Structure 1
Amino acid sequence: MHHKIRLNHYLSNAGISSRRKADQLIQSGAIEVNGKPVFKLGTVISTKDVVRYFGSKIKYQNKIYLLLNKPKGFITTTRDQFHRKTVMDLIPCFYGYRIFPVGRLDNSTTGVLLLTNDGYIAEKLTHPKYRIKKIYNVSLNKKIKNEDLDKIRKGKIYLKEGKVKVIFIKKNASNQLEIGLYIGWNRVIKRIFKKLNYQVTRLDRINFGGLSKKNIKIGNWCLLKKKEIENITK
C-alpha cells in the first residue's frame, strides 16, 4: 500500500540521514524524485515514487527496533577500524537494512541499548529537547560519602558542558547507587564520580526512556513494536 510522506521523512526512514540533514541534502540538489532534482523543502511524495540519492535508488524500508542488553567488551558502533567486537556482532543480520545503535554505551558499560534503521526516531531519542530519561546502576571502588551524594543531588557538580542536573540519586549499598538523568553527555556518569575522586567499577543502564531490560538476559535482544518506541517520544 502506497501513502504520501514528506521527502525528508522518507530519507530518514531509508536510513540516509536524520531529517535535519535530509533538508540540507535536498537543498544541495543531491536528491532526485522520478528523475528530476528536488530542491524545495517540505516536498511531499508518494512511497511509490522513485527516489535517488547521488544517482543511487533509495528503498523505503520497514522499520526495525531492536532492544539489546549489551554485555561488556563490545563497542557501540556499526563497524570498527581495529576489528574489535561491536554490538552488531550480537544481533541478527538484516540484509539490505542499515541498522545502527542509538547513542553510545562505553565498551565496559552494560545494559539497555536500542538499535534501529529509523533515523527520525533515533534523532528524537538523542536530542536534548525531548528529555529522554536514563537510569543507571553504578558500582564504585569505595564507599561513597553522604556529602558527595548531596553535592550530586543538589547540582553542585560542574563539568565542561555545565552544571550536572540529575533527576534522582539513591544509595543501594555503601558503594552502589542508582542514578537517573536526562543529559546524555559523553561518559557523563564516570566523569561525575571522577570529579569526586571515585572510580566507577561497573555501570549498567537499566532503563532508557521507559524501555527496560528486565526480561532480556545479558547479550540477548528482543524486537519492539513501533508504538512502544513512539510512546517514548510523545
Structure 2
Amino acid sequence: MSKQRENKSKGKPSGRGHNNTRNQSQARGNAPIKKKAVSKKASDSDQIRLNKYVANSGICSRRDADMHIATGLVSVNGKIVTEMGYKVKLEDEVRFDGARINPEKKAYVLLNKPKGFATTTSEGKGRTVMDLVANATNSRIKPIGRLGRNSKGLLFFTNDDLVAKKFTNSKNGVPRLFQIELDKNLKAEDLKKIREGFRVEGKLITVEEVSYIDGVSKKEIGLKIKNTGNTIIRTIFDYLNYDVVSVDCVAIGHLTKKDIPRGHWKHLTEQEINTLKML
C-alpha cells in the first residue's frame, strides 16, 4: 500500500498494462520510428494541396485548378509552380494570374478600440488589437489602417485583399472621421489653413473636411481624412503648435460606432459589406 501511495504522489502511472505496452514497443524497436511518424503528420497538417487552395478560394473547381497550375497561372511566394500535388501553407502568398487569392472564408470585423492597445499583428508588443478580436473569427484577419496605442475608436479588420486595397488607395481611399481634442482652442486662421491645405517639408498636407464641433469648446474638432494612418493628424497639429489630447475615430465611410461599446466588435452585415465594396 505504501509503495502505491508513493507512486501516486510522484505522479507516476501505475498498472501492468502501461508498462507491458511500453516494453513491447521498445522490444520491437518501434519507439524512434513512431516518434518520427507523429512529427511528420503534425507538419503535414499545416499544409494543403495547391489545387485545393485555388479551388477553395472560389476561383474554379479543383480539376480546373490542375489545368491552371499546369499552364503556369499560379505562383507561390513569387515563383510559378506547375507541379501536380504541390503543397502550400495557409500563410504562403499564392497568386492566380497575378492576383493574390485566399482559401479562407472572408471575414469583416469592426472594433471599437479602447486606449492602451497597439495596432499590430506582431507578438511581443504588449496588448494589441488582435487580443480584442481573437474570438471574432477563425479566418486570419488583420487591421486595415492604424490607430495609435493611445487613440481610440473604430478599426476595421478583414482578410479580403480587394476591400483592403480600397483603404490603401491613395487616390480614392475610404474616408475616416475623427473627433480630436486639443490642449487649447483651435484658432480660426489655423482652421482655415488646415481646410485649404499647406506644405510641411515640401509635402502637401490636405484633409477631406475639418470643422469645429457644435455645442463644445473650440478645443474639439472634427477631421475627415482618407489616409489609412493617423500620423497626418500629429503632423498637422505639431506644425501648428498644438498638443493632441485625444483622438477618436467615430466613423469609417458609412460605418459608425452605434451599438458597439468600447472594447467590443461586430461582424459587418451583408448590406454594410456591399456598401463598403462600392466605395
TM value normalised by structure 1: 0.74
- Alpha-carbon offset, residue 81 of structure 1: 2.6
Matched residue, 2:106:
63
User: Does residue 170 in structure 1 map to residue 226 in structure 2?
Assistant: no
- Alpha-carbon offset, residue 35 of structure 1: 3.0
Aligned equivalents of 1:24, 1:124: Cα separation in 2? 24
Matched residue, 1:189:
233
Secondary structure at 2:171 match in 1: helix
More contact order relative to length (CA 8 Å, sep ≥ 6):
1
Secondary structure at 1:147 match in 2: helix
Given candidates 169, 186, 193, the residue that maps to 1:144 is 186
Q: Give ranges in structure 1 of 5+ residues lacking alignment.
A: 7-22, 44-57
Taking every aligned residue pair, what percent have the same amino acid on both sides?
34
Matched residue, 1:104:
146
Aligned equivalents of 1:180, 1:27: Cα separation in 2? 37
Task: Describe the shift of the 1:59–1:119 C-alpha distance in structure 2 as closer, same or farther (beyond 3 A).
Answer: closer
User: Does residue 180 in structure 1 map to residue 248 in structure 2?
Assistant: no
Q: Is contact 2:118-2:149 (8 Å) kept?
A: yes
Aligned equivalents of 1:3, 1:122: Cα separation in 2? 17
Structure 1's consecutive aligned runs of 4 or more residues displaced over 6 angstroms after TM superposition are 36-40
- Alpha-carbon offset, residue 159 of structure 1: 3.1
Given candidates 113, 120, 129, the residue that maps to 1:77 is 120
Aligned equivalents of 1:39, 1:78: Cα separation in 2? 22
User: Does residue 121 in structure 1 map to residue 171 in structure 2?
Assistant: no
Q: Is contact 1:135-1:178 (8 Å) kept?
A: yes
AA at the equivalent of 1:5: I
Q: Is contact 1:125-1:233 (8 Å) kept?
A: no
- Alpha-carbon offset, residue 26 of structure 1: 5.3
Q: Give ranges in structure 2 of 5+ residues lacking alignment.
A: 1-54, 61-72, 88-93
Task: Describe the shift of the 1:193–1:2 C-alpha distance in structure 2 as closer, same or farther (beyond 3 A).
Answer: closer
Q: Is contact 2:112-2:262 (8 Å) kept?
A: yes
Matched residue, 1:5:
59
Aligned equivalents of 1:179, 1:42: Cα separation in 2? 37
TM value normalised by structure 2: 0.63
AA at the equivalent of 1:65: Y
Q: Specify the structure having the higher radius of gyration (Cα).
A: 2
Task: Describe the shift of the 1:135–1:32 C-alpha distance in structure 2 as closer, same or farther (beyond 3 A).
Answer: farther
Aligned equivalents of 2:157, 2:95: Cα separation in 1? 31
Aligned equivalents of 2:112, 2:95: Cα separation in 1? 42
Higher helix share: 2
Task: Describe the shift of the 1:93–1:187 C-alpha distance in structure 2 as closer, same or farther (beyond 3 A).
Answer: same
Over the aligned positions, Cα root-mean-square deviation in angstroms equals 3.4
Secondary structure at 1:129 match in 2: coil
- Alpha-carbon offset, residue 68 of structure 1: 0.3
Q: Which moved more, 1:109-118 or 1:67-76?
A: 109-118
- Alpha-carbon offset, residue 90 of structure 1: 0.9
Task: Describe the shift of the 1:4–1:118 C-alpha distance in structure 2 as closer, same or farther (beyond 3 A).
Answer: closer
Q: Is contact 1:26-1:41 (8 Å) kept?
A: no
